[in-house]
Structure 1
Amino acid sequence: MMKRHQFVAFDLGAESGRAMLGQLEDGRLELRELHRFPNRTLYLDNHLHWNIYYLFEEIRKVLQDCRKNSLEITSLGVDTWGVDFGLLDGRGNLLALPYCYRHRSFPEAMERYFRNYSREELYGLTGIQFLPFNSLFQLYSLLAENPELVRSARRLLFTPDIINYLLTGKQATELTIASTSQLLSPFSRKWLPELLDRMGLDAAILPEINQPGTRLGRISGWLLDDGLPEIEVIQVASHDTASAVAAAPGEGQDWLYISSGTWSLVGVELPEPVVTPESFAANFTNESGLGRTIRFLKNVTGLWPLQQCRRVWSRSGELSYEQLVDLAARARPFQLFLDPDAPDFLHPENMVEAINNYARRTGQKEPADSGTTVRAILESLAFKYRLVVEELSRLTGRRFSTIHIIGGGSRNQLLNQFTAEATGLRVLAGPDEATSAGNILVQALAAGLLGSSQEIREVVRQSFEIKEFTPVEPETWSEPYRDFLRIIGK
């Protein structure tokens, strides 16, 4: 019988953060939420920022409670969203709050950067999908807006790295989060200093890259004096999607994953990157995963439009996600088609108005009510999944039978069923806390309690309920899918 070991996962997302206690015993993992807190951007000096010190304070409070409650914790790990970073000066001080990836100046910076490299050249080097908020373009944008700040930087750290640095005093990054930056080669898994050279920056600001499962060090002494426990900090797969995919309960070669939340990451796990003219044209990305795997995927806007619509509707009365999904289930199908990735929906002041404007712009009727709006969001997301699945099959030569939907969005049973109908594939949903599970099980790997990524997935299969959704009437989705493709210009 295996002794019980306890770990803490800090999973920080764009909407909220959570601390999860994981108890691993006899090959089964139990999760218990210790704390949940909102995460919001700050609008300062005409820029969107993350309040990293607020996030750290929430983490500090959780760890103080662990010590007060005499919880025996083996280690902790931090995962966050990708691409965003902070800059440190030579004394190790953060020069400014990290910028948020939804900042409006990044698309222009991306286009300007292509004067240094063509799109084809840059993709050939990095294998990364072109998104205007990739770290490379953020850095280029900041250099134009605030050159003194950028040139005074001596270290760049990504969001989870900053938290780890505040906890341990160690400045280092980890492969999965570094791979989101478009500053890394997917072949060598090393930095590409020439990308910074072209903008006149010293690549020495880029930190050491560690593998997921690296034991970074123990919590700093001054934090122990502040009531924190003396526990080890592990660099887990610190990009939240990488942690989630590590906990996808897939078997064999015929499955793909959708990490479903604010964003939907639709992809497959491969041994080597796919960097071809075809993957470039389809705008697919090659990010690193656990065990030196490649997460070959496409970023799709996920439940963000629904989240933002709910925020608008809550001004005139609170509606739960369950109520909104129930309204959508009763609404007429296929009344409106949206491209979830249209620029209209990136960061509008009012998402409901943005959807109405999009409907008018594309020659469609505005949705009559909130149920129709939500149904349009979910149907369109399922159709976008189908498009990406078809592209994945073409680019990898693989045929898929199963989609594993993991993460918080896997709780949306209507979207799960729509995905099965739109793709014609079996959908297995869960675990909904895949990111925290992956975070904790990589800590267990670092502790020597598990031996491989396959053992991690076996623990997941033994520990969590996985719900199955099968297509019932997929043929009724074929003609609307063609209408969807026409509306989005495919």
Structure 2
Amino acid sequence: MEYHLAIDIGASSGRHILGYIEDGQMKIEEVYRFENGIKKIDDEYCWDLKGLFQEIKNGINKCKEIGKLPKSIGIDTWAVDFVLLDKENKVLGNTVAYRDDRTEGIMEEVFETIPKDMLYLYTGIQFQRFNTIYQLMAIKNKKPEILENAKAFLMVPDYLNFLLTGVKANEYTNATSTQLVNSFDRTWDDKILEQLGIDKSIFQEIKLPKTSLGNLRKELVEEFGFDMEVILPATHDTGSAFIASVCNDNDSVYLSSGTWSLMGVENHFPICVPQSMNYNFTNEGGIDYRFRFLKNIMGLWIIQEVRKNYDNKYSFAELVVKARESEDFNSIIDVNHDRFLNPENMIEEIKEYCRETNQQVPETVGQVAYCVYNSLSSSYKESIAELEEIFEKQYKKINVFGGGCQNELLNELLAKVTQKEVLAGPVEATAIGNIVAQLLSYEKVANLEEARKLIAKSFEIKTYIP
């Protein structure tokens, strides 16, 4: 049996999942799980990459412990965050997280140099204050010495791959999230970098998913007692999740549901027209130079923070039960408002929003939870309406995948408000998509279409009818 290891790292946790093909079906097995999160260091919200790499090694050792040695390994994480390395390959400064407020007001400063419409025309990427471009400009403004000493730019999964292999490369799907890649040339945009005064030489060659970075560093082979080939998946977790969609048609909307909700469709070309810019859609790179034309929606982060504010007293399943008891509660929040990005207290922020907009203020646990789920479904409905307007067509189905597809109430609300059939699954979409890229690299699956057929017959998919 040949195993392939997906390491899927999200904002709150990471997992090592082995994948293999047996009896004509794709099978997966979680072998290790660990926690992740942002910590405040020197007044900045930061990631602990040293700790993450140790967890990566712990999980690899677990594979050896259970006697299932992977032939290859692929790492995916969230997007936009990065490290800058000096001439000795040491990380400069903190690895600051996208939820930090260092980019406050930076986006507007960039527009003074590069007009908003031109930036969108070049890159096709939606405007979010935490995009890499604005993080780099925040460093340039506030800590210029870091950029002056930087010799290499690596996004988080790029850096973890560097630690594994010694090879520096920027993977395509994650690179596009920086708002620094030209969507037509599919490489770093010299004009943008020059206008912003950022040294192009720090950026690496952009490599595509399915590319091999080679094998492990010699010292890691000695430490683990075995070797693996490091294969690039779509290192942006959403890019991997989209690979795992069970829809192989042009009549479906995709919804990757997790901490973030990413809703859209798959294209073979970018759409950088004013209408898509005004609706704030993005053209993120996908496997085989596909484009994920989608919108980032705040997602289940809000309910995660609500649960934390209740001191984790309720499980997510219990929050759904309580929400069902408050289905007559009608207040709606704008889930994409910056105020919900990283508030001190999410519940109080929701209540204050309702007060400011003259709506009923949620008081019970059920009302707060239902307000979140109802608001998310409302946002999904609005995004689909915008997609249908842009493409001048009606979509028939919605494929929801990722951990959030297990929320039956949200799936029911989505089917109800959109009046469309909802297909929920697969749950482990990101890890599955990561493994698929490795299988494609080894030609164990012919192409993406065949991979999606394999996924559809290998994993449970639930259907919700409006």
Secondary structure at the aligned position of 2:255 is classed as strand
Residues 224-235 of structure 1 aligned to structure 2 (within 5 Å): 224-227=221-224, 229-235=226-232
Separation (CA, whole Å) in 2 of partners of 1:399 and 1:334: 30
Q: CA deviation at 1:332?
A: 3.3
Specify which of 298, 302, 307 is matched with residue 305 of structure 1. Answer: 302
The residue number in structure 2 matching 1:374 is 369
**Is this contact kept in 1: 2:31–2:63, CA < 8 A?**
no
Specify which of 240, 260, 264 is matched with residue 263 of structure 1. Answer: 260
The residue number in structure 2 matching 1:133 is 130
Specify which of 435, 439, 442 is matched with residue 434 of structure 2. Answer: 439
Specify which of 208, 216, 221 is matched with residue 219 of structure 1. Answer: 216
Q: CA deviation at 1:66?
A: 1.9
1:248 aligns with 2:245: yes
The residue number in structure 2 matching 1:22 is 19
Q: CA deviation at 1:9?
A: 0.5
Deviations 1:246-289 (A, max 9, x none): 01000221001000011100010011111111111111100111
Separation (CA, whole Å) in 2 of partners of 1:455 and 1:259: 20
1:168 aligns with 2:165: yes
| CA gap 1:423/1:151 in 2 versus in 1, 3 angstroms | same
> What is the letter of the counterpart of residue 217 of structure 2?
S
Specify which of 348, 351, 365 is matched with residue 353 of structure 1. Answer: 348
Residues 177-196 of structure 1 aligned to structure 2 (within 5 Å): 177-196=174-193
Separation (CA, whole Å) in 1 of partners of 2:431 and 2:224: 24
1:411 aligns with 2:411: no
The residue number in structure 1 matching 2:331 is 336
Secondary structure at the aligned position of 1:113 is classed as helix
Specify which of 374, 382, 391 is matched with residue 396 of structure 1. Answer: 391
The residue number in structure 2 matching 1:480 is none
Specify which of 284, 288, 292 is matched with residue 291 of structure 1. Answer: 288
Separation (CA, whole Å) in 2 of partners of 1:140 and 1:322: 41
Separation (CA, whole Å) in 1 of partners of 2:253 and 2:226: 39
1:83 aligns with 2:71: no
Separation (CA, whole Å) in 2 of partners of 1:227 and 1:77: 16
TM-score, normalising length: structure 2: 0.98
> What is the letter of the counterpart of residue 50 of structure 1?
W
Deviations 1:6-28 (A, max 9, x none): 11100010111111111222431
Separation (CA, whole Å) in 2 of partners of 1:26 and 1:272: 36
Q: CA deviation at 1:171?
A: 0.3
Separation (CA, whole Å) in 2 of partners of 1:199 and 1:284: 23
> What is the letter of the counterpart of residue 423 of structure 1?
T
Separation (CA, whole Å) in 1 of partners of 2:226 and 2:408: 40
Q: Which runs of 5 or more structure 2 residues have no equivalent in the other structure?
A: none
> What is the letter of the counterpart of residue 133 of structure 1?
F
TM-score, normalising length: structure 1: 0.93
Q: CA deviation at 1:227?
A: 2.4
The residue number in structure 2 matching 1:477 is none
The answer to which of 431-440 and 331-340 deviates more is 331-340
**Is this contact kept in 2: 1:102–1:133, CA < 8 A?**
yes
Separation (CA, whole Å) in 2 of partners of 1:228 and 1:145: 45
> What is the letter of the counterpart of residue 197 of structure 2?
G
Secondary structure at the aligned position of 1:75 is classed as strand
Deviations 1:51-89 (A, max 9, x none): 011111001011122223332311010001111110011
**Is this contact kept in 2: 1:5–1:25, CA < 8 A?**
no
Alpha carbon RMSD of aligned pairs, Å?
1.1
The answer to which of 403-412 and 92-101 deviates more is 92-101
Separation (CA, whole Å) in 2 of partners of 1:67 and 1:324: 38
> What is the letter of the counterpart of residue 271 of structure 2?
V
Separation (CA, whole Å) in 1 of partners of 2:68 and 2:278: 51
The residue number in structure 2 matching 1:104 is 101
Specify which of 140, 144, 148 is matched with residue 141 of structure 2. Answer: 144
Q: CA deviation at 1:146?
A: 0.6
Seq. identity, %: 38
Separation (CA, whole Å) in 1 of partners of 2:94 and 2:442: 33
Q: CA deviation at 1:98?
A: 1.6
The residue number in structure 2 matching 1:450 is 445
Separation (CA, whole Å) in 1 of partners of 2:154 and 2:445: 29
The residue number in structure 1 matching 2:278 is 281
Separation (CA, whole Å) in 2 of partners of 1:397 and 1:176: 27
> What is the letter of the counterpart of residue 341 of structure 1?
N
> What is the letter of the counterpart of residue 446 of structure 2?
G
Secondary structure at the aligned position of 2:18 is classed as strand
**Is this contact kept in 2: 1:64–1:229, CA < 8 A?**
no
Q: CA deviation at 1:187?
A: 1.1
Number of equivalences: 466
The residue number in structure 1 matching 2:358 is 363
Secondary structure at the aligned position of 1:115 is classed as helix
Secondary structure at the aligned position of 2:121 is classed as helix
Q: Which runs of 5 or more structure 1 residues have no equivalent in the other structure?
A: 472-490
| CA gap 1:228/1:312 in 2 versus in 1, 3 angstroms | farther
The answer to which of 219-228 and 296-305 deviates more is 219-228
Separation (CA, whole Å) in 1 of partners of 2:196 and 2:263: 32
Q: CA deviation at 1:228?
A: 5.0
Separation (CA, whole Å) in 2 of partners of 1:41 and 1:229: 32
The residue number in structure 1 matching 2:423 is 428
1:158 aligns with 2:175: no
**Is this contact kept in 1: 2:31–2:62, CA < 8 A?**
no
Q: CA deviation at 1:90?
A: 1.4
Q: CA deviation at 1:139?
A: 0.4
Separation (CA, whole Å) in 2 of partners of 1:335 and 1:72: 52
Separation (CA, whole Å) in 2 of partners of 1:16 and 1:112: 34
> What is the letter of the counterpart of residue 268 of structure 1?
V
> What is the letter of the counterpart of residue 343 of structure 1?
D
Separation (CA, whole Å) in 2 of partners of 1:38 and 1:63: 16
Separation (CA, whole Å) in 1 of partners of 2:333 and 2:226: 49
